[in-house]
Structure 1
Amino acid sequence: MAYLNISHVDKTFVTGSKRTEVLRDIRLDIAQGEFVSIIGHSGCGKSTLLNLIAGLTQVTSGAIKLDGYEVRAPGPDRAVVFQNHSLLPWLSVHDNVKLAVDKIFRGRKSRAERHEWILHNLDLVQMRHAADKRPGEISGGMRQRAGIARALAMEPKVLLLDEPFGALDALTRAHLQDAVMDIHARLGNTMIMITHDVDEAVLLADRIVMMTNGPAATIGEVLEVNLPRPRERIAAAADPAYLKARRAVLRFLYERHRFVEAAE
């Protein structure tokens, strides 16, 4: 059985008498420790799918199971990092992470153990030096690192990343991509990332899930990325396997865009 199983999932939103079918018959199995990127044009339901996995939205039909248990609501086994870091501005970086740690581990870890766990996770994202700073005192990239630290500190079974680097400049984005690859290599955790960036999808993922255009979007293709790990971005960019994967994703997205234009 797959670690994460998405079985014949449909999602329809109802507003008054209006029904909008966003996702139709989504079927996907994800292995433990796998890194999966989900890509597609705007409005194809990528974030809706992520919210379904997170339990923030209920499926209309079908089922999502994680480690054998059906997903029906949010839970600490699924942590989400959004494009907006969602840090509380009046708390320090340390205390933002502490909120999650205290909620999950109070009664399971002593105060000293929780403190060490917070620092450990800040170390993972190279943010211990900024532990006492508030979000308004640090850069956007550092705020995202803090958000990732908070998510990792929950020890989730799956880390869900919803375009977490979309608002960052190119250099900061590259540094954070490298940080995420390093964390994935060290922890071996399961990660699912929504992205619009083809190069980001190819560099980070084991597989790329390509969504068709909405409404009633579904999975069009799933591409295996046959690049050995660890990956170094400059070397990878010249690797034939990288270039082949990149072309395949661009071709899929271009064909979908052309199809939409022809239908208008």
Structure 2
Amino acid sequence: MGAYLSIEGVGITFNPRKSPTPALVGVDLKIQKGEFVSIIGHSGCGKSTLLNIVAGLLKPTLGGVFLESKLVDAPGPDRAVVFQNHSLLPWLTVYQNVRLAVDKVFGKTRTDTERDEWTLHNLNLVGMSHAIAKHPSEISGGMKQRVGIARALAMEPKVLLMDEPFGALDALNRARLQDALMQIQNTLHNTVIMITHDVDEAVLLSDRIVMMTNGPAATIGEILDIPLERPRKRLDLADDATYAHCRGEVLRFLYARHRPADADAA
């Protein structure tokens, strides 16, 4: 079976003329439809660079990305991105922030009523239907990120790209949003690529974890399958042997085989 999303021989070098710096080399990854893949590694290993290449925000120096066998060479609504910063427009309400994306993608193909219903549906999906009239300044950081996720989902992307989406949140809000994302994944079975620094988050949410070697010239070091049945419940996994094994494998990769450079100098 062919891959839904295929990253083939991707490499990128910054400042190729003056001071060439290879950020990524020889990245190959096949992702199936409906799969949740996390990418983890130390700072500077090119995680966000790879995500931006898949998003079409950066063009690789070598290789390419193919979505349903079509070359990705520019941004598009088939790949929605959720960044650590929610990027909501402060002068618009919660509803208007999501409706703006819906109108942009479906303005010519759906009626006003259909777009209104679809906007409300996605806000309800992330538990924000009670705050549709509020502005970003009136809601918490976790709620803002929920709206950002609703906006991305409302575009009906083929691939949802998430760059440390919960990294700026406190532990409680982070856990709540992780649980919400698992529920959404169980409902929609959408294809997700998520960048994270959090080992527990990666094991909890993912079908596979892609572990990157240190930069520069970073590449995929190992890929770990997470054979935990879905739906998953956080408390049930606390003493689960498979969960503990997977967590240990990621930690061993990051801190035994690929320690950060400053750790060796300490």
TM-score class normalised by the smaller sequence: over 0.9
In 2, Cα distance between equivalents of 1:174 and 1:241: 20
In 1, Cα distance between equivalents of 2:16 and 2:137: 37
In 2, Cα distance between equivalents of 1:224 and 1:26: 18
The aligned amino acid for 1:150 is R
Alignment of 1:168-247 (within 5 A): 168-247=169-248
The residue that corresponds to 1:146 in the other structure is 147
User: Helix, strand or coil: the match of 1:235?
Assistant: helix
User: Helix, strand or coil: the match of 1:11?
Assistant: strand
The residue that corresponds to 1:155 in the other structure is 156
The residue that corresponds to 2:12 in the other structure is 11
Alignment of 1:126-145 (within 5 A): 126-145=127-146
The residue that corresponds to 2:259 in the other structure is 257
Deviations 1:43-72 (A, max 9, x none): 100000000000000011101000111000
Deviations 1:205-264 (A, max 9, x none): 000000000000000000000100000001112111100000000000002116764489
In 2, Cα distance between equivalents of 1:136 and 1:258: 38
User: Helix, strand or coil: the match of 1:18?
Assistant: coil
User: Helix, strand or coil: the match of 2:120?
Assistant: helix
In 1, Cα distance between equivalents of 2:173 and 2:85: 15
Deviations 1:142-184 (A, max 9, x none): 0000000000000000000000000000000000000000000
In 1, Cα distance between equivalents of 2:53 and 2:185: 23
In 2, Cα distance between equivalents of 1:115 and 1:56: 29
Say if 1:260 and 1:219 are closer, same or farther in 2 by CA, change over 3 A: farther
Q: Please provide the CA RMSD for this pair.
A: 1.3
The aligned amino acid for 1:113 is E
> Is residue 62 of structure 1 aligned with residue 63 of structure 2?
yes
User: Helix, strand or coil: the match of 1:29?
Assistant: strand
In 1, Cα distance between equivalents of 2:158 and 2:31: 12
In 2, Cα distance between equivalents of 1:22 and 1:193: 19
The aligned amino acid for 2:243 is Y
The aligned amino acid for 2:158 is K
Sequence identity, in percent? 64
In 1, Cα distance between equivalents of 2:10 and 2:106: 33
- Structure 2 gaps, min length 5: none
User: Helix, strand or coil: the match of 2:229?
Assistant: coil
In 2, Cα distance between equivalents of 1:149 and 1:119: 9
In 2, Cα distance between equivalents of 1:62 and 1:133: 44
Residue 78 of structure 1: how far off its partner (Å): 0.1
- Structure 1 gaps, min length 5: none
Indicate conservation of the 8 Å contact 2:126/2:146, yes or no: yes
In 2, Cα distance between equivalents of 1:262 and 1:129: 50
In 2, Cα distance between equivalents of 1:197 and 1:2: 27
The aligned amino acid for 2:118 is W
User: Helix, strand or coil: the match of 2:259?
Assistant: helix
The aligned amino acid for 1:257 is R
The aligned amino acid for 1:92 is T
Residue 26 of structure 1: how far off its partner (Å): 0.2
The residue that corresponds to 2:123 in the other structure is 122
In 2, Cα distance between equivalents of 1:16 and 1:26: 22
Query: Which ranges of 4 or more aligned residues in structure 1 deviate by more than 6 Å?
Result: none
In 1, Cα distance between equivalents of 2:222 and 2:17: 34
In 2, Cα distance between equivalents of 1:14 and 1:94: 41
